[in-house]
């Protein structure tokens, strides 16, 4: 059955569909970045509320700034903005049709987007525009020199960026006496609300300092921590949906069954009752972010590089490998989890058990190569802060040193079996010769202060790193992991 409003009633019985009348929905949210994560996350939470007869005035209108989004929009338009979401545990896959999206203003049509954003019914503007969408420099600060921002600073009435569009609409609302909407980032960035405020007010300052003051004083930017592994859609997913569920959808979304959203409750114009579908509202998301960055993201890095060097393709296969799985277990238990500050209401060992289960889920098809990507940006966020804590607390850092050595060894560009590793970092060309030189001069690797800061000067860490790197080159990944595990 081809998915559309007219065929909803003919869908196979095991495909859940909206239990509400979509004619009765009205708009409340404008969303930028109608990609996969949004449809597995905010759109799904709202669909669940709507199925309970709640949040019917919080329908979603989409928008975007990139011309390549037109293709996805055309697919969604053909199915009246309906999407099939397939939620997969290791053993069970469930398909449901999400009906919470009402419209999608054509990407790039700035005037139409500003007009829609200016109407009082829009009370929340939400974002999943990727980490790269926030105009941050290498130190995660607002980068005022980006040409797109400079263009929006010059011509605020015809903006190109998401932030330029939001500002243009806020100005219309302010002049019309319409209260400003809340701006809610759902991107995977620590303190994403603060970062969004920094970029929005940064651009506003380039346009008009008084207006920037008004934005800073009147617009709310709740921070939130989001989590749900959602790979990109390929023909494989389209085919699986047709074969297993009998539904033809031009752009379905497949994701894991787990989801988490911890959010600060700052919504001056109100919000959907998300707490009724599992969203946790807290005063401060920082402890939750630290937990995720350390136990989940540093955990991903821990399995990524040994698995990459051993030639393992999928994350669930790495988890099934005795040595890699045991390395994760030991490192988390002895050097990572003890360095995660307490999180209200969460037992860290239970959180880690869930992560172990998620990583081992064979249905997700997540690749080791994806986890190995961009270490030069990820190591400083996920691993280096834990090493810094270990240096300060004087406790064990052997496993962290081994993780760092594995990343260095990976960047030399060859697996243990001698197969080439294709470039897998924006700075690959810089990293590779340093990784090769580090084989005999390990200090050269840690001297990359943009990644390691000053921790290369700590003798205990530098020595442990050098020892493990030497073992990796002489004895290979498998024997080195075994040595660590003994």
Binding site for ligand NAD (CB under 6 A): 33-38, 64-66, 69, 128-133, 162, 187-188, 226-230
CA-nearest of 84, 74, 60, 73 to 3 is: 84
Min. distance of Cβ 420 from ligand NAD in angstroms? 27
Min. distance of Cβ 46 from ligand NAD in angstroms? 16
Min. distance of Cβ 204 from ligand NAD in angstroms? 17
For 238, phi then psi, to 5°, come to -60, -40
| 3-state SS record for 31-71 | EECCCHHHHHCHHHHHHHHHHCCCCCCCEEEEECCCCCHHH
For residues 63 and 105, the answer to whether their CB atoms sit within 8 Å is: yes
Find the farthest-apart pair of alpha carbons in the chain and give their distance in angstroms, rounded.
71
For residues 84 and 253, the answer to whether their CB atoms sit within 8 Å is: yes
When the beta carbons of 43 and 277 are compared against ligand NAD, the nearer one is: 43
For residues 13 and 104, the answer to whether their CB atoms sit within 8 Å is: no
Tell the residue number behind the tokens 């700034």, with chain if given: 65
Min. distance of Cβ 125 from ligand NAD in angstroms? 13
Min. distance of Cβ 233 from ligand NAD in angstroms? 8
Tokens linked to 477: 């990944």
Tokens linked to 210: 């008084």
- Count of CB atoms within 10 A of residue 256's CB? 21
When the beta carbons of 41 and 96 are compared against ligand NAD, the nearer one is: 41
For 398, phi then psi, to 5°, come to -60, -45
Supply angle C-alpha 207, 189, 261, rounded to 5: 120
For residues 212 and 201, the answer to whether their CB atoms sit within 8 Å is: yes
When the beta carbons of 38 and 363 are compared against ligand NAD, the nearer one is: 38
Give pairs for 202-209: CB < 8 Å, separation 24+: 202/135, 202/142, 202/144, 202/149, 203/149, 203/152, 203/153, 203/161, 203/163, 203/164, 203/167, 204/167, 206/144, 206/149, 206/150, 206/152, 206/153, 207/152, 207/153, 207/156, 207/167, 208/156
When the beta carbons of 202 and 399 are compared against ligand NAD, the nearer one is: 202
When the beta carbons of 197 and 471 are compared against ligand NAD, the nearer one is: 197
When the beta carbons of 90 and 391 are compared against ligand NAD, the nearer one is: 90
When the beta carbons of 196 and 448 are compared against ligand NAD, the nearer one is: 196
Min. distance of Cβ 280 from ligand NAD in angstroms? 16
Min. distance of Cβ 194 from ligand NAD in angstroms? 15
Min. distance of Cβ 138 from ligand NAD in angstroms? 17
When the beta carbons of 62 and 306 are compared against ligand NAD, the nearer one is: 62
When the beta carbons of 226 and 348 are compared against ligand NAD, the nearer one is: 226
When the beta carbons of 197 and 330 are compared against ligand NAD, the nearer one is: 197
- In whole angstroms, how far apart are CA 81 and each of 74, 205, 257, 292? 9, 36, 23, 32
Q: Rounded distance, CA 292 to CA 382, Å?
A: 9
Min. distance of Cβ 394 from ligand NAD in angstroms? 35
When the beta carbons of 63 and 308 are compared against ligand NAD, the nearer one is: 63
DSSP code of residue 420: B
End-to-end CA, the chain: 56
Min. distance of Cβ 195 from ligand NAD in angstroms? 11
Cβ within 8 Å of residue 207, ≥6 positions away = 152, 153, 156, 167
Ranked by CB distance to ligand NAD, the top (closest) residue is 35
């Amino acid at each position: 059955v081809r998915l559309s409003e007219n065929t909803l009633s003919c869908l196979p019985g095991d495909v859940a569909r909206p239990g509400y009348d979509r004619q009765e929905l009205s708009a409340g949210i404008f969303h930028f970045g109608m990609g996969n994560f949004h449809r597995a996350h905010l759109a799904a939470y709202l669909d669940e509320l709507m199925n309970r007869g709640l949040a019917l005035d919080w329908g979603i209108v989409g928008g975007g700034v990139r011309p390549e989004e037109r293709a996805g929009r055309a697919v969604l338009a053909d199915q009246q903005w309906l999407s099939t979401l397939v939620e997969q545990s290791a053993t069970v896959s469930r398909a449901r049709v999400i009906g919470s999206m009402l419209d999608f203003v054509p990407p790039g049509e700035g005037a139409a987007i500003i007009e829609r954003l200016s109407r009082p019914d829009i009370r929340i503007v939400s974002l999943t525009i990727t980490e790269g969408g926030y105009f941050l420099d290498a130190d995660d600060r607002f980068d005022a020199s980006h040409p797109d921002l400079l263009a929006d600073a010059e011509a605020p009435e015809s903006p190109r960026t998401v932030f330029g569009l939001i500002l243009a609409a806020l100005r219309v609302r302010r002049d019309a006496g319409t209260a400003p909407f809340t701006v809610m980032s759902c991107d995977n960035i620590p303190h994403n609300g603060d970062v969004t405020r920094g970029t929005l007010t940064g651009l506003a300052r380039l346009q008009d300092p008084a207006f920037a003051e008004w934005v800073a004083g009147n617009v709310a930017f709740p921070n939130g921590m989001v989590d749900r592994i959602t790979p990109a859609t390929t023909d494989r997913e389209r085919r699986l949906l047709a074969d297993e569920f009998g539904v033809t959808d031009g752009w379905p979304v497949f994701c894991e069954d787990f989801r988490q959203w911890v959010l600060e409750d700052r919504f001056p114009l109100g919000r959907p009752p998300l707490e009724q579908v599992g969203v946790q509202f807290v005063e401060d998301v920082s402890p939750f972010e630290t937990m995720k960055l350390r136990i989940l993201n540093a955990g991903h890095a821990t399995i990524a590089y040994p698995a990459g060097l051993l030639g393992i393709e999928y994350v669930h296969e790495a988890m099934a490998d005795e040595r890699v799985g045991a390395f994760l277990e030991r490192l988390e238990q002895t050097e990572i989890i003890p360095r995660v500050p307490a999180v209200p209401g969460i037992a860290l060992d239970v959180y880690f058990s869930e992560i172990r289960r998620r990583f081992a889920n064979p249905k997700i098809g997540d690749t080791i190569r994806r986890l190995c990507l961009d270490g030069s940006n990820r190591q400083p966020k996920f691993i280096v802060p834990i090493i810094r804590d270990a240096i300060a607390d004087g406790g064990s850092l052997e496993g962290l040193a081994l993780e760092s050595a594995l990343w260095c060894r990976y960047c030399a560009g060859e697996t243990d079996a001698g197969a080439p590793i294709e470039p897998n970092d924006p700075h690959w060309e810089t990293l590779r010769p340093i990784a090769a030189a580090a084989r005999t001069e390990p200090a050269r690797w840690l001297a990359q202060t943009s990644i390691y800061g000053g921790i290369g000067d700590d003798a205990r860490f530098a020595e442990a790193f050098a020892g493990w790197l030497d073992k990796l080159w002489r004895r290979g990944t498998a024997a080195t992991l075994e040595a660590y595990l003994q």
